[in-house]
Amino acid sequence: MGGRLEHNHTNDDAADILAIQTAIDMGVTHFDTAEVYAAGYAEELLGRAIKKYNRSKLFITSKAKPINFKHDDLINSCKQSLQRVGTDYFDLYLLHHYSASIPLAETIGALDELVRQGLIRNIGVSNFTKEHLADTQNLTKNKIVCDQVHLSLEFREPEVTGLLKYCQNNDVFLVAWRPTGKGKLAKDAPPIVQEMCKRYQKTPTQIAINWLISQDHVVTLSKTTNIAHLKENLGAIGWEMAIEDIELLQKEYPNQKDVSDTVKLG
């Protein structure tokens, strides 16, 4: 929302704010943003949208970009993100990507300091391999609660690398980004998904999201500015597919990929 890596000055801010507020009114509590999204403008939009709501009922996540992983830079980054969102704390704060150029121990020390100061309540990582996730857990006094990574019916890297199993075995949430393949899964549903749509009387997007959250320790993030899509996507929860169907989709969904052909920065 608000642009990709730069602020898009032609963005329809009112539509984004309305979508966030409608989501809250419909019971959504978790909002995911990052300092890199629209160069901080996405955080500002979120801040404007949540102003009239009770902050304590929301769960807000933001992320720091690797260039800010030195100790003092990370503390400053977090404070600036908090200011843009207009809140005193983040429920969850993530390292957006692994960085090989700044010692992980220094960055984790800063995250622990942010927890100590009460500016963040939980820490996590994003786009980390299972090895980097394990290293991170060994360096912090706190718990690494999640790894936010690309996972969908179509994109299976975390299954193939064992990251998903690692998360399930170590009580870490895998937060799946791009659950609908940016809307693509709604348009080109293969026969196996169409069959599930008929069986459960759901849309392809609802099947794609439900399939993710039916898995142990998997939650997901879905982005939309379109209120009809918001309602559709919320219809992905509150019901369950049979285990055989979950497994069938896992095995038989066609053209599964485990290497990203999209831009890495999310």
What is the DSSP code string of 160-206?
Answer: HHSHHHHHHHTT-EEEEE-TTTTTHHHHS--HHHHHHHHHHT--HHH
Do 258 and 157 touch, CB atoms closer than 8 A?
A: yes
Contact between 178 and ligand NAP (CB under 6 A)? yes
Do 80 and 73 touch, CB atoms closer than 8 A?
A: no
Do 140 and 111 touch, CB atoms closer than 8 A?
A: yes
Which residues from 83-142 bind ligand NAP, rule CB under 6 A?
126-127
Contact between 229 and ligand NAP (CB under 6 A)? yes
Contact between 226 and ligand NAP (CB under 6 A)? yes
Contact between 223 and ligand NAP (CB under 6 A)? yes
Q: What is the CA radius of gyration of the chain?
A: 18
Minimum CB distance to ligand NAP, residue 263 (Å): 9
Residue 241, CB-side half-sphere exposure with 13 Å CA sphere: 28
Given 11, 76, 170, 225, the residue binding ligand NAP (CB under 6 A): 225
Minimum CB distance to ligand NAP, residue 98 (Å): 11
Contact between 62 and ligand NAP (CB under 6 A)? no
Given 125, 186, 193, 241, the residue binding ligand NAP (CB under 6 A): 186
CB-based contacts of 195, cutoff 8 Å, min separation 6: none
**Nearer to ligand NAP by C-beta: 219 or 246?**
219
Given 12, 183, 188, 240, the residue binding ligand NAP (CB under 6 A): 183
Contact between 180 and ligand NAP (CB under 6 A)? yes
Residue 135, exposed/middle/buried by CB under 10 A (0-12, 13-18, 19+)?
Answer: middle
**Nearer to ligand NAP by C-beta: 117 or 262?**
262
Contact between 50 and ligand NAP (CB under 6 A)? no
Contact between 179 and ligand NAP (CB under 6 A)? yes
Given 232, 241, 245, 249, the residue binding ligand NAP (CB under 6 A): 232
Find, among 77, 89, 83, the residue nearest to 35 by Cα.
Answer: 77
Minimum CB distance to ligand NAP, residue 118 (Å): 24
**Residues 163-198 as b or e (16 or more Cβ within 10 Å = b):** bbebbeeeebbbbbbbbbbeeebbeebbebbeebbe
Given 193, 233, 241, 249, the residue binding ligand NAP (CB under 6 A): 233
Chain residues binding ligand NAP by CB under 6 A are 32, 126-127, 148, 177-183, 186, 205, 221-226, 229, 232-233, 266
